[in-house]
């Protein structure tokens, strides 16, 4: 019986290790975002900054359930150097543009109303875009990463991008109405009719 319990424990630990990576996203706090942006540029990435606070329940939830997921770490982490800043800290912070401020003052300058929030910067410290709010699903954080990395933020709000991606994914799995006219859920590719 003891051997069976050890075997089950080992299997559970292996399963957990395959889902979670060793180095989760946003696991480092930074006080010099200009330096972090330059390092990101040297790595061929952009900089993603998480604005968090010590009493933020959703921040803690994402740290446990979203940031360590291996697929997100590899997808998001390949595109962005990630750091966190605490808005409830009074410590000096060098903003991505090189100015000295605090995390709370930077968040206010970015018009971030609360935590969690994300800001994305290029290698020169210029703001690309920002996002306010938490993610329950790791796939949504990965979608945010693709949204920023592809430049879709320049023409489309994130919610529309996310919805568009879900529609496209759903449409790709549905039969074409012209080939299967009796299908209830189908995609017609003619200009006169689209079903979804």
In contact, 42 and 117? CB cutoff 8 Å: no
Q: What percent of the chain has pLDDT over 90?
A: 67
pLDDT at 2 over 90: no
DSSP 98: S
Query: Does residue 189 belong to any structural domain of this protein?
Result: no
Entry field: residues in the chain: 196
Query: Does residue 34 belong to any structural domain of this protein?
Result: yes
Query: Does residue 57 belong to any structural domain of this protein?
Result: yes
| Residue of higher predicted confidence among 109 and 176 | 109
pLDDT at 23 over 80: no
Query: Does residue 168 belong to any structural domain of this protein?
Result: no
Task: Return the minimum-mean-pLDDT range out of 11-20, 34-43, 137-146.
Answer: 11-20
Band the pLDDT of 54: cuts 50, 70, 90: very high
pLDDT of residue 166: 58
pLDDT at 182 over 70: no
Q: How far is CA 96 from CA 19, 99, 118, 125, in A?
A: 33, 7, 14, 4
Q: What is the CATH number of the domain that holds 75?
A: 3.40.30.10
Query: Does residue 59 belong to any structural domain of this protein?
Result: yes
Question: Look-up: residue for tokens 């957990």?
Answer: 16
In contact, 81 and 40? CB cutoff 8 Å: yes
Query: Does residue 169 belong to any structural domain of this protein?
Result: no
Domain encompassing residue 96? 19-155
Query: Does residue 144 belong to any structural domain of this protein?
Result: yes
Within its chain, how far is the Cα of 183 from the centroid? 36
Q: Largest alpha-carbon pair distance within the chain?
A: 67
Q: What average pLDDT does the segment 110-127 reach?
A: 95
Chain-wide mean pLDDT for the chain? 80
Query: Does residue 79 belong to any structural domain of this protein?
Result: yes
State how many domains the chain has: 1
pLDDT of residue 3: 57
For residue 65, give both structure tokens.
């359930």
Q: What average pLDDT does the segment 168-190 reach?
A: 43
In the Cβ-directed half-sphere of 159, how many Cα atoms lie within 13 Å? 2
| Residue of higher predicted confidence among 11 and 70 | 70
C-alpha torsion angle, residues 136, 81, 14, 142 (rounded to 10): 40
In contact, 174 and 187? CB cutoff 8 Å: yes
pLDDT at 161 over 80: yes
Helix (H) or strand (E) holding 142: helix 138-149
pLDDT of residue 82: 97
């Amino acid at each position: 019986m003891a051997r069976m319990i050890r075997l089950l424990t080992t299997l559970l630990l292996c399963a957990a290790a395959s889902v979670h990576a060793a180095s989760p996203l946003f696991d480092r706090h930074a006080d010099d975002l200009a330096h972090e942006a330059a390092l990101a540029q040297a790595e061929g990435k952009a900089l993603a900054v998480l604005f968090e606070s010590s009493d933020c329940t959703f921040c803690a939830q994402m740290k446990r359930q979203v940031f360590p997921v291996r697929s997100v770490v590899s997808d998001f982490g390949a595109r962005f150097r990630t750091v966190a800043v605490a808005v409830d800290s009074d410590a000096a912070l060098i903003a991505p543009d090189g100015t000295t401020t605090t995390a709370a003052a930077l968040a206010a300058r970015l018009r971030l109303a609360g935590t969690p929030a994300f800001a994305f910067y290029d290698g020169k410290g210029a703001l690309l875009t920002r996002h306010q709010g938490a993610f329950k699903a790791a796939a949504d954080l990965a979608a945010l990463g693709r949204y920023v990395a592809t430049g879709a933020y320049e023409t489309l709000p994130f919610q529309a991008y996310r919805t568009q991606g879900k529609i496209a994914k759903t449409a790709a799995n549905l039969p074409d109405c012209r080939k299967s006219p009796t299908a209830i859920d189908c995609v017609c590719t003619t200009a006169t009719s689209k079903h979804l």
